[in-house]
């Protein structure tokens, strides 16, 4: 054992970059000083040492912006707290737009940032030139300034965090590689090093671009891949003012900031390429990759047009370093499935310096409090699908993440690379019917159907896209006749065994101790009453239940359930998603259609809403469940994969005369929004309770034995909630909202939209969003009155608000 290396610690943090050091520092600040940091080489020697140092708040999601806000607080106080300088200064950032589309994107981004309380100011091109005089602005449509953004020195900041942690008692060991993770009973119990084991209650994987390799050792799937990433530093530029705002010029794929007496010009350019995808060399330390001017030159030339002073500036440094990127461009922060007390914070997509201090602080709070201090479902390592750590997949998909980083981020934008991996048994059939596919975690899913003669591509815009009318027709068919969806990508868990009922009763807020053939809509709560999962549970027989979850939540739902199986429980949880096709047949004519194919009695009396049973269909058998996500009469058919095409053909052939249409996920979203059905990860997640989310109807308060989260929920019920999920429609039928738009009540910001879609029956945008009241226990009537506005692209649009959905508020249509 290395001298001084303890045999045990409360937490072992693996990785001495900014993220690992921040985690250790913040654990120590929480009083968790029995912490060991292991660094295979020297602190900062991974990717941190060469970070450009930008701190920009315009991040893609509410949660990731919250992380940067937390980072900014830390940047503001760290030097004072530790006595070590960080080079932090607030210079602001200017984002530039050179087209109407880019300008709309920037305005939408500014509104989203305001939903976090981040200052964002719209500027004319001339206004931008005033803040950054050398800038060429002749071709600009506008700019947005984030005055509170900043920059700092990554190495200094990390050393300040490390020294600060040590001052509080944390032990840091450099040149000490973690070679393994020990585990017992599904829990991480320590870390192996060449010099022996360090036992631990918690293990944190903060190994940056090594995150995937180090994760594999513990059986954790952490998809990320290092790509080559560039900046250029110029010689001194005479007369260049110091302290200029950072420029982010997405149209030029570049950012610019003062660097000494010159400028740093960094790039997020198309044509990126992976580095060492088969394994990072063991001796990698302060790695610098070879220059590639052939690749970078054209982008630099382009940037000279934006900033003509670059033309005469000599180049002092042409830097290329590896940085890890992920398949969806979002980092991994949280727990991995199947291994308790193992946390990961890696894959930072070149925002690890600006996110690292906040991410480490969040992780420290999470470990210390046993719950995350903020909701980050988008960064949850349990969102990952198994194929995502495949090397070839990563090489293709992750380069696209970087290539797209500075492109316009369109609503409904689809990835092009590494497609076609996971297909429904009906894939060819729905494709033949005109399906235009989108992708979710490898699944190809019919988003909309192109009628004959219509091109099967997306033409993106922030307004109505080319599929708008086709999707509207699908929507109408479901409301007025009958529609068929292929939702085979949905997650299906078979929970079976002697104690299946008791485990599920404990986990579900609703009562699942029902007769076989009943289906129960329920949430799974954490002990604070927050919603960890939103599922339906079908009781198949005494010892068998089927849990339906989303394609992106199946892994975390399974993990949640398995974590709540006690040592004496006799239960198994099996993911049977791929074995069953799922075909919702929805709409007022669905009964007539399906009745023509089955001897089972589908009348309301014989087959009421909320029931499920195996029925004959044509010459086969399927499980038919009367439930809806669209607000209409209908049955979800669960079909053995080998029978799927046969059943599909039977339904389509019987449905043609009844006006059956194929309907895709865009129509599904429009339909569900009108009826106000919540979507986990958007409208509900771990820090929203059923009382806040309007889901108390699904809480069985008094069922025997209670359920996880009941006590917290009871306390909240007693006290009264302070925020409620509300339904909105925008008065202007031409304005489209998507998510994160700020909500104003009587001119005051009271929340932001969690999701939105155009409602084709209501003829306007429909949305959901939480509204926060002045105090807990505020009467529901307060929420419903008042003049509401939603800020879309920096413009306030009058809106209607209600506590019930605008379409079929009593939910009678699905129950007829």
Ligand X SMILES: Cc1cc2nc3c(=O)[nH]c(=O)nc-3n(C[C@H](O)[C@H](O)[C@H](O)COP(=O)(O)OP(=O)(O)OC[C@H]3O[C@@H](n4cnc5c(N)ncnc54)[C@H](O)[C@@H]3O)c2cc1C
Q: Which is nearer to ligand X, 96 or 580 (CB)?
A: 96
Tell the smallest beta-carbon distance from residue 179 to ligand X (Å): 7
Nearest to 284 by CA among 333, 324, 342: 324
Identify the bridge partners of residue 300 per DSSP, sorted by sequence position.
Answer: none
3-class DSSP state of 199? strand
Q: How far apart are CA 553 and CA 177, in angstroms?
A: 34
Q: Which is nearer to ligand X, 232 or 531 (CB)?
A: 232
Cβ–Cβ under 8 Å, residues 94 and 245: yes
Tell the smallest beta-carbon distance from residue 299 to ligand X (Å): 14
Tell the smallest beta-carbon distance from residue 74 to ligand X (Å): 13
Tell the smallest beta-carbon distance from residue 563 to ligand X (Å): 26
Q: Which is nearer to ligand X, 196 or 763 (CB)?
A: 196
Nearest to 582 by CA among 515, 504, 637: 637
Q: How far apart are CA 310 and CA 326, in angstroms?
A: 32
Tell the smallest beta-carbon distance from residue 355 to ligand X (Å): 6
Residues in the chain: 816
Tell the smallest beta-carbon distance from residue 351 to ligand X (Å): 4
Q: Which is nearer to ligand X, 151 or 589 (CB)?
A: 151
Tell the smallest beta-carbon distance from residue 108 to ligand X (Å): 22
Residue by residue, what is the 3-state secondary structure of 582-632? EEEEECCCHHHHHHCCCCCCCCCCCCCCCEEEEEEECCEEEEEECCCCCCC
Nearest to 109 by CA among 681, 734, 682, 794: 794
Q: Beta-strand (E) ranges in 368-465?
A: 435-440, 443-449
Q: How far apart are CA 416 and CA 762, in angstroms?
A: 33
Tell the smallest beta-carbon distance from residue 38 to ligand X (Å): 5
Q: How far apart are CA 159 and CA 171, in angstroms?
A: 14
Q: Which is nearer to ligand X, 91 or 689 (CB)?
A: 91
CA neighbours within 13 Å on the CB side: how many for 271? 12
Q: Which is nearer to ligand X, 208 or 377 (CB)?
A: 208
Q: Which is nearer to ligand X, 20 or 805 (CB)?
A: 20
3-class DSSP state of 717? helix
Tell the smallest beta-carbon distance from residue 583 to ligand X (Å): 43
Q: How far is CA 390 from CA 212, 222, 223, 421, 617, in A?
A: 10, 10, 8, 12, 39
Tell the smallest beta-carbon distance from residue 59 to ligand X (Å): 10
Q: Which is nearer to ligand X, 18 or 531 (CB)?
A: 18
Nearest to 11 by CA among 155, 336, 25: 25
Contact residues toward ligand X (CB under 6 A) are 14-20, 38-41, 45-48, 50-54, 177-178, 206-210, 214, 229, 231, 266, 321, 323, 346, 348, 350-354, 356
Q: Which residue has tokens 């009964």? A: 591
Tell the smallest beta-carbon distance from residue 171 to ligand X (Å): 14
Tell the smallest beta-carbon distance from residue 559 to ligand X (Å): 23
Q: How many helices (H) and strands (E) does the chain have?
A: 18, 38
H/E stretch holding 187 reads strand 187-193
Q: How far apart are CA 533 and CA 709, in angstroms?
A: 13
Q: Which is nearer to ligand X, 72 or 639 (CB)?
A: 72
Q: Which is nearer to ligand X, 206 or 700 (CB)?
A: 206
Q: Which is nearer to ligand X, 15 or 759 (CB)?
A: 15
Q: How far apart are CA 785 and CA 812, in angstroms?
A: 25
Q: How far apart are CA 410 and CA 402, in angstroms?
A: 16
Q: Which residue has tokens 């220059």? A: 291
Q: Which is nearer to ligand X, 326 or 471 (CB)?
A: 326
Tell the smallest beta-carbon distance from residue 109 to ligand X (Å): 17
**CA 440, 445, 450: angle at the middle one, nearest 5?**
135
Q: Which is nearer to ligand X, 213 or 808 (CB)?
A: 213
Q: How far apart are CA 485 and CA 670, in angstroms?
A: 14
Q: How far is CA 575 from CA 74, 491, 581, 595, in A?
A: 42, 8, 13, 31
Q: Which is nearer to ligand X, 207 or 761 (CB)?
A: 207
Tell the smallest beta-carbon distance from residue 348 to ligand X (Å): 3
Tell the smallest beta-carbon distance from residue 45 to ligand X (Å): 5
H/E stretch holding 74 reads helix 62-82
Q: Which is nearer to ligand X, 41 or 371 (CB)?
A: 41
Cβ–Cβ under 8 Å, residues 661 and 617: no
Taken in order 63, 65, 69, 70, the sign of the CA dihedral is positive
Cβ–Cβ under 8 Å, residues 382 and 337: yes
Q: How far apart are CA 136 and CA 126, in angstroms?
A: 10
Taken in order 387, 390, 392, 394, the sign of the CA dihedral is positive
Q: Which is nearer to ligand X, 333 or 730 (CB)?
A: 333
Tell the smallest beta-carbon distance from residue 391 to ligand X (Å): 18
410: exposed, middle or buried (Cβ count in 10 Å: 0-12, 13-18, 19+): middle
Tell the smallest beta-carbon distance from residue 16 to ligand X (Å): 5
Nearest to 441 by CA among 393, 405, 495: 393
Q: How far apart are CA 795 and CA 645, in angstroms?
A: 48
Q: Which is nearer to ligand X, 231 or 462 (CB)?
A: 231
């Amino acid at each position: 054992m290395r001298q001084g290396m303890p045999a045990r610690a409360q937490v072992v943090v693996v990785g001495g970059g900014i993220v690992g050091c921040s985690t250790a520092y913040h654990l120590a600040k929480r009083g968790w000083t029995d912490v060991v940091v292991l660094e295979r080489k020297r602190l900062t020697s991974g990717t941190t040492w060469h970070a450009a140092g930008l701190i920009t708040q315009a991040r893609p999601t509410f949660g990731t912006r919250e992380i940067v806000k937390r980072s900014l607080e830390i940047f503001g106080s760290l030097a004072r707290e530790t006595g070590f300088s960080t080079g932090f200064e607030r210079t602001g950032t200017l984002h530039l737009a050179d087209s109407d589309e880019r300008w709309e994107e920037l305005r939408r981004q500014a509104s989203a940032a305001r939903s976090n309380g981040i200052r964002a100011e719209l500027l004319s091109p001339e206004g931008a030139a005033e803040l950054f005089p050398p800038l060429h602005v002749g071709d600009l449509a506008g700019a947005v300034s984030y005055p509170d953004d900043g920059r700092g020195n990554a190495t200094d900041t990390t050393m300040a965090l490390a020294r600060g942690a040590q001052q509080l008692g944390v032990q840091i060991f450099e040149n000490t590689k973690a070679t393994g993770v020990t585990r017992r009973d599904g829990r991480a119990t320590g870390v192996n090093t060449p010099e022996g084991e360090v036992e631990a209650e918690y293990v944190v994987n903060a190994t940056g671009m090594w995150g995937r390799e180090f994760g594999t050792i513990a059986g954790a799937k952490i998809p990320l891949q290092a790509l080559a990433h560039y900046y250029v530093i110029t010689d001194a530029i005479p007369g260049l003012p110091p302290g200029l705002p950072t420029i982010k010029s997405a149209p030029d794929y570049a950012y610019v900031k003062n660097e000494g007496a010159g400028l740093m010009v960094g790039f997020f350019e198309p044509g990126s390429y992976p580095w060492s995808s088969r394994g990072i060399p063991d001796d990698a330390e302060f790695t610098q990759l070879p220059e590639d001017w052939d690749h970078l030159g054209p982008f630099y030339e382009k940037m000279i047009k934006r900033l003509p002073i670059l033309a005469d500036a000599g180049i002092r440094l042409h830097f290329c370093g590896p940085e890890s990127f992920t398949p969806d461009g979002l980092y991994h922060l949280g727990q991995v499935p199947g291994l308790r007390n193992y946390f990961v914070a890696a894959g930072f997509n070149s925002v690890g310096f600006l996110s690292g201090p906040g991410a480490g602080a969040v992780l420290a709070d999470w470990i210390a409090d046993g719950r995350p201090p903020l909701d980050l479902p988008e960064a949850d390592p349990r969102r990952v699908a198994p194929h995502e750590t495949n090397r070839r997949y990563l090489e293709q998909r992750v380069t696209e993440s970087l290539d797209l980083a500075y492109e316009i981020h369109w609503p409904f934008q689809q990835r092009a690379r590494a497609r076609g991996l996971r297909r429904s048994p009906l894939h060819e059939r729905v494709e033949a019917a005109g399906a235009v596919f989108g992708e979710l975690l490898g699944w190809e899913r019919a988003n909309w159907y192109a009628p004959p003669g219509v091109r099967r591509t997306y033409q993106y815009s922030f307004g109505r896209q080319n599929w708008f009318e086709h999707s509207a027709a699908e929507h109408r068919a479901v409301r007025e006749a009958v529609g068929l969806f292929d939702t085979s990508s949905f997650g299906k868990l078979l929970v079976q065994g002697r104690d299946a009922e008791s485990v599920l009763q404990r986990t579900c807020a609703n009562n699942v101790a029902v007769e076989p053939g009943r289906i129960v809509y329920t949430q799974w709560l954490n002990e604070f009453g927050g919603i960890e999962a939103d599922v339906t549970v079908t009781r198949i027989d005494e010892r068998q239940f089927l849990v339906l979850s989303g394609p992106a939540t199946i892994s975390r739902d399974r993990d949640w359930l398995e974590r709540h199986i006690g040592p004496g429980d006799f239960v198994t949880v099996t993911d049977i998603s791929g074995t069953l096709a799922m075909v919702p047949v929805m709409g007022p004519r669905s009964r007539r259609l399906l009745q023509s194919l089955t001897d089972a009695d589908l009348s309301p009396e014989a087959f009421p809403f909320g029931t499920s049973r195996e029925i004959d269909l044509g010459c086969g058998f399927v499980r038919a469940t009367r439930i809806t996500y669209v607000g209409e009469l209908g049955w979800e058919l669960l079909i053995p994969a080998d029978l799927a095409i046969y059943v599909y053909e039977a339904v389509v052939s019987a449905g043609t005369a009844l006006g059956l249409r194929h309907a895709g996920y865009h129509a599904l979203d429009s339909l569900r929004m009108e009826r106000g059905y919540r979507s986990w990860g958007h409208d509900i997640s771990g820090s929203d309770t059923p009382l806040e989310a309007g889901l108390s109807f699904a809480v069985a308060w008094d069922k025997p034995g209670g359920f996880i989260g009941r006590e917290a929920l009871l306390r909240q019920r007693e006290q009264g909630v302070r925020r409620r999920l509300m339904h909105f429609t925008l008065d202007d039928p031409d304005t489209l909202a998507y998510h994160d738009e700020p909500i104003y009540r009587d001119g005051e910001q009271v929340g932001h939209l969690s999701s939105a879609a155009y409602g084709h029956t209501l003829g306007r945008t429909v949305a959901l969003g939480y509204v926060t009241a002045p105090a807990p226990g505020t009467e529901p009537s307060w929420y419903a009155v008042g003049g509401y506005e939603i800020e879309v692209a920096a413009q306030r649009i009058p809106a209607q608000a209600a506590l019930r959905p605008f379409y079929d508020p009593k939910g009678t249509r699905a129950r007829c």
